[in-house]
Amino acid sequence: MKPISPSRAFAAEQSFASETIEAAPARNRVRFLAIGLLVMLLLLSARAVQLAFAGDPTAEPRHGAAIAQVERADIVDRNGVLLATTVRAFTLTATPERVWRANETAAALARIFPDMDRDATVRRLSDRSHELVFLRRGLTPNQRDAVLSLGLAGIGFAQEERRVYPQGALAGHALGFTDVDRHALAGVELGLDDQIRRAGAEGRPVRLSIDVRMQYALETELDAAAQAAHASSAAAILLDGRTGETLALASWPALDPNEFAGASEAARTDRVAGDVHELGSTLKPFTEAMALQERLTSSGELFDLSQPFVLDGTTISDDERILGPASLRDILARSSNIGAARLALRVGADRQRSYLARLGLLAPPTLELARSQAPIAPTARTRRDIAGLGFGYGLAATPASLAGAYTIFANNGARVTPSLLMRLPDAQIRRTTVFSPAVTQQVLSYMRSVVTDGTGRAADVPGLQVAGKTGTAEKLGDDTYSQDHNFSSFAGVFPADTPRYVIFLALDDTGAGAAGGAVAAPAVARTLRRIAPMLGLRVEPRLPSH
């Protein structure tokens, strides 16, 4: 072997050095490219976390969640009290490859979230087939800080937005709710979804007509009445009859939209606009108004109601027998089925249906809620059907629809469409003429007698001039109506001398003897005593009981 000369060795070294220097930029470019791709993947992963969609706290992302990033506006009451808003929240995540001890990690998290399924969490933390798993949605900043203080390896967070309802269950059914990605699911959240999104983009709130003070009074009195009567459900609504604005509406059982996922089906059901019932004697004022409007009777006519009315094999009777001549005022004040049936037969099916349509009772309620229930309208036209409809059987409608019909007494015979949105001062209010002012005032005076001398005496509030009508509709079972199951209600208008406001309160599935005058009317009186000062109305102080 010949030795390498120093000069050749130097040349070879220089050649090697030159090749090394020339190759270095190429290798660096490869490294930078790899790092760039890694950063892009990490950013995409973070974005995927941000857009994660879930119906439960541990759900994986799914397509379409990006739509939810459109901001939702705050919802406020008529005075600006916050009812719904969007706040910052966090998603708890884990990278299984970085989790040291799955059992200990799950146990530590369970101390912060007692309802967390520990075994399921261990399985998710141990599943290394996923780079990232989602453990819980909607964490508050305090919950995030509590987890961070544990110093758990492989546990992280992604920031998100969460819809919250600061007033809890107050007006829960009216507001409705959204899922964890702020997709509207119920109430005005869904019924006004487009408007809420537009307002959010413009940075302004959506203002409802509700007054939280009246809402609280209505809800607490409805709750007390429902429990006292052992009702299965209940509903109440308060309207400004002149404008149609809904000042308060309540369904029982109550619903906290912050906790909708755990609510029962009974609690989720909106009883004001989403539940229909035969309304019973609260329809009698309309029957009298129809007969008066068509000049089929007069204020001076007297009726003999002393005997049951047998009609095509069906006997119609009154709860309290009326002896002696009875006027239209007596028929309403003492809630005579016989008198109402006879008047309805004079009106006839066609005119009866026409008036009911103009009263808004043959169409779904107009409130801006997602799932308003259509009525079960009368289809049969026999004499029995016409007579039964005269005292509230054969038509099933919502409490919201009935309250809307009663706005005629605040507008000289014209119906106003109810709304959950606050009206602008110069807003054009649509009115549908149903009865003449003279007929309307005449029937309203009879309704005042219901409260002063008739079945609705328990609704009287001295100084407030309440007019109204009680209702006790037996519920239909498999084949027959049952006296042991009633829909008990009271519909009121006040003040009767200058009518403006409408209230309707109903208790469902009350027992035998639980007439509307006994269970619903007192609840209305208690409610009106509380809200009258809020409306600028004076009531006489109650005298001490001893």
| Burial grade of 269 (CB within 10 A; 0-12, 13-18, 19 or more) | middle
Backbone Cα Rg of the chain: 34
Angle at 387 between CA 511 and CA 349, to 5 degrees: 130
Phi-psi region at 79: left, alpha or beta (left = phi > 0; alpha = psi -120 to 50):
alpha
In three-state form (DSSP H/G/I as H, E/B as E, the rest C), the secondary structure along 489-517 is EEEEEECCCCCCEEEEEEEEEECCCCCHH
Whether the Cβ atoms of residue 471 and residue 516 lie closer than 8 Å to each other = yes
Residue 154: φ, ψ to 5°: 80, 0
Residue 79: φ, ψ to 5°: -100, 10
Neighbouring C-beta atoms of residue 351, cutoff 10 Å: 16
Q: Catalytic amino acids?
A: 281
> Between helices 102-112 and 118-126, what is the axis angle to 10°?
140
Whether the Cβ atoms of residue 182 and residue 189 lie closer than 8 Å to each other = no
- Tokens at residue 514, please? 């639980």
DSSP codes, 263-300: --HHHHS-TTTS--EE-GGGGHHHHHHHHHHTTS--TT
Report the distance separating Cα 173 and Cα 296, nearest Å.
Answer: 43
- Tokens at residue 371, please? 């799932």
Report the distance separating Cα 69 and Cα 54, nearest Å.
Answer: 14
**Residue 146: C-alpha distances to residues 108, 122, 137 (Å):** 10, 19, 15
Please, what's the b/e burial string for 133-163 (b: 16 or more CB within 10 A of its CB; e: otherwise)? bbbbbbbeeebbeebeeeebebbbbbebbbb
In the three-class reduction of DSSP (H, G, I as helix; E, B as strand; rest coil), residue 546 is classed as: coil
Report the distance separating Cα 389 and Cα 377, nearest Å.
Answer: 10
Give me the sign of the Cα torsion angle 212, 217, 218, 222.
positive
Report the distance separating Cα 158 and Cα 42, nearest Å.
Answer: 13
Q: How many residues does the chain have?
A: 546
Q: What is the DSSP letter of 72?
A: P
- Tokens at residue 54, please? 């879930």
